[in-house]
């Protein structure tokens, strides 16, 4: 199976197409770039006009066209290396995806591979219903390309298809044509509309490749929420991402670490959190609240986690159940950006309601434990015997007894 890529960075800035020249041997070549589309193209019902562009470490900034066997033969394509295919999704603006160049460079920085970018701007700029229909034809064209690349030395398991939004389901369609024998599929925010209730033969599914993963970061808007891979990652619960405003007809910003998958489980959900700034990774802490005395109705509390410099580094709102509840422990995972220092203090605020009077809450213990990562872990830290009746309570964390 193809080696897994180490990291992906998707940027939201608009990049206008550029043209470069590169040299392979002594032969100058013109670089190819994305096409552009417009609603005039749509009204004229033009052909899908798919083109395939190759980047390698020999030509990282200058894409070579590989639309047929002759192009492949005259390019830097190396059939002994893994091949990554990138497929964008629905494009309402008819312009080049702003993140695609960065993604290609990140893949080449991570390993020596062939990176093939699939440009189907013409077919992806239309009414969404029509674009979904066009995606089937795109899948056929991508399948033909893969067979051409295999005739130049590639193997089925050396292919890694990376599709964002609608492109993720196209990757699944291609994988089914190869009976699930392609090495890997990564679905970045697989599209939800038209696919949320679709059967396994009509959307991305674990059977589409040897290993299928999906990364969900917009499942409450245009992304699909159901699991569609062997492993599904839900960044920040798979919904709104920190530092990202709600975009118009686009998906959120994502970041992902490397993943080792020697064993392919079936539809495992993995939840993790990110920060709003690069490199986006955060530590994860388990918060446990052991409480005794409860009020006559549910109450809301807000907890702020502070660094040693009293910077606000994480926030959490919780519902404390009423005294009839059989529960006695609340457990939550919280993110913590270590750039701001150690987590030393917390404030607890009992939120008021115009309908309900605040009642005292007796918390026996609050315990915070850093989830194990790379063999290093701080000892658990605790606060004991808290009687919460004031609006805001300040407490310092200490080593647990």
Tens digit of pLDDT for each residue in 121-131? 988 887 888 88
256 within some domain: yes
Residue 8 reports pLDDT greater than 60: no
Q: Are 312 and 304 in contact (CB under 8 A)?
A: yes
How confident is the model at residue 117, as a pLDDT?
A: 97
Concatenate the DSSP letters of all residues of 127-164 into one string: -HHHHHHHHHHHHHHHHHHHHHHHTTT--GGGEEEEEE
User: How far is the CA of 386 from the CAs of 81, 135, 326, in angstroms?
Assistant: 60, 58, 20
CATH number at residue 333: 2.60.60.20
The domain in which residue 16 lies consists of 8-272
223 shares its domain with 321: no
How confident is the model at residue 3, as a pLDDT?
A: 39
pLDDT band at 175 (very low <50, low <70, confident <90, very high): very high
278 within some domain: no
Please name the residue that has the structure tokens 């388990």. 286
2 within some domain: no
How confident is the model at residue 379, as a pLDDT?
A: 80
Please state whether the predicted TM-score (pTM) of the whole model is above 0.75: no
Q: What secondary structure letter does DSSP report for 2? A: P
Question: Which candidate, 352, 354, 315, places its Cα nearest to that of 335?
Answer: 315
Question: Which candidate, 18, 1, 146, 19, places its Cα nearest to that of 85?
Answer: 146
68 within some domain: yes
Residue 246 reports pLDDT greater than 80: no
**Quick one: average pLDDT of 288-298?**
74
Select the highest-mean-pLDDT range: 176-190, 209-223, 252-266, 385-399.
176-190
Q: What secondary structure letter does DSSP report for 89? A: -
Q: Are 217 and 255 in contact (CB under 8 A)?
A: no
Q: Phi/psi at 162 (nearest 5 deg)? A: -120, 115
Domain end residue (candidates: 225, 251, 272)? 272
**Quick one: average pLDDT of 267-289?**
73
Share of the chain above pLDDT 90, in %: 31
Q: Are 216 and 244 in contact (CB under 8 A)?
A: no
pLDDT band at 249 (very low <50, low <70, confident <90, very high): very low
Domain end residue (candidates: 239, 272, 305)? 272
pLDDT tens-place string over residues 205-236: 999 998 999 988 887 778 888 889 888 888 87
> HSE-up of 401 (CA within 13 Å, CB side)?
5
CATH number at residue 251: 3.40.50.1820
Please count the structural domains in the chain.
2
Please name the residue that has the structure tokens 């939840």. 271
Contacts 24+ apart (CB under 8 A), 388-391: 388/301, 388/348, 388/350, 388/360, 388/361, 388/362, 388/363, 389/350, 389/358, 389/360, 389/361, 390/350, 391/349, 391/350, 391/352
Between the two ends of the chain, the Cα-to-Cα distance in Å is 49
């Amino acid at each position: 199976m193809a080696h897994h890529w180490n990291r992906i960075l998707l940027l939201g800035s608009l990049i206008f197409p550029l043209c470069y020249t590169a040299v392979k041997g002594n032969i100058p070549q013109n670089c190819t770039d994305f096409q552009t589309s417009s609603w005039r193209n749509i009204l004229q019902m033009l052909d899908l006009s798919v083109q395939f562009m190759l980047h390698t470490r020999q030509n990282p900034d200058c894409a070579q066209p590989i639309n047929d066997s002759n192009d492949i033969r005259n390019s830097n394509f190396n059939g002994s290396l893994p091949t990554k295919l990138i497929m964008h999704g629905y494009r309402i603006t008819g312009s080049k995806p702003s993140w695609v160049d960065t993604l290609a460079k990140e893949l080449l920085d991570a390993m020596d591979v062939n990176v093939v970018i699939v440009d189907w701007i013409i077919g992806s700029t239309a009414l969404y219903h029509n674009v979904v229909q066009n995606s089937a034809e795109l899948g056929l064209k991508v399948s033909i390309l893969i067979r051409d690349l295999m005739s130049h030395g590639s193997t089925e398991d050396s292919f890694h298809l990376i599709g964002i939004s609608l492109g993720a389901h196209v990757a699944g369609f291609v994988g089914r044509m190869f009976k699930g024998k392609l090495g890997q599929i990564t679905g970045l925010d697989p599209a939800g509309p038209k696919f949320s209730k679709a059967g396994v033969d009509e959307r991305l599914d674990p059977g589409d490749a040897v290993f299928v993963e999906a990364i969900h970061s917009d499942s409450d808007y245009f992304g699909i929420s159901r699991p569609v891979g062997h492993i599904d990652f839900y960044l920040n619960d798979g919904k709104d991402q920190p530092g990202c405003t709600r975009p118009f007809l686009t998906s959120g910003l994502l970041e992902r670490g490397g993943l080792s998958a020697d064993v392919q489980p079936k539809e495992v959900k993995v939840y993790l959190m990110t920060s709003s700034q690069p490199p986006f990774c955060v530590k994860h802490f388990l918060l446990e609240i052991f409480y005794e005395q409860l009020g006559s109705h549910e109450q809301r509390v807000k907890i702020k986690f502070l660094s040693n410099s009293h910077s606000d580094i994480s926030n959490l709102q919780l519902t404390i159940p009423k005294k009839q509840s059989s529960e006695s422990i609340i457990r939550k995972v919280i993110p913590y950006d270590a750039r701001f220092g150690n987590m030393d203090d917390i404030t607890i605020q009992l939120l008021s309601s115009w309908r309900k009077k605040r009642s005292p809450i007796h918390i026996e213990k609050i315990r915070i434990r850093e989830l194990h990562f790379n063999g290093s872990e701080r000892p658990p830290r605790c606060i004991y015997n808290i009687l919460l009746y004031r609006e805001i309570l300040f407490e310092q964390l200490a080593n647990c007894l």
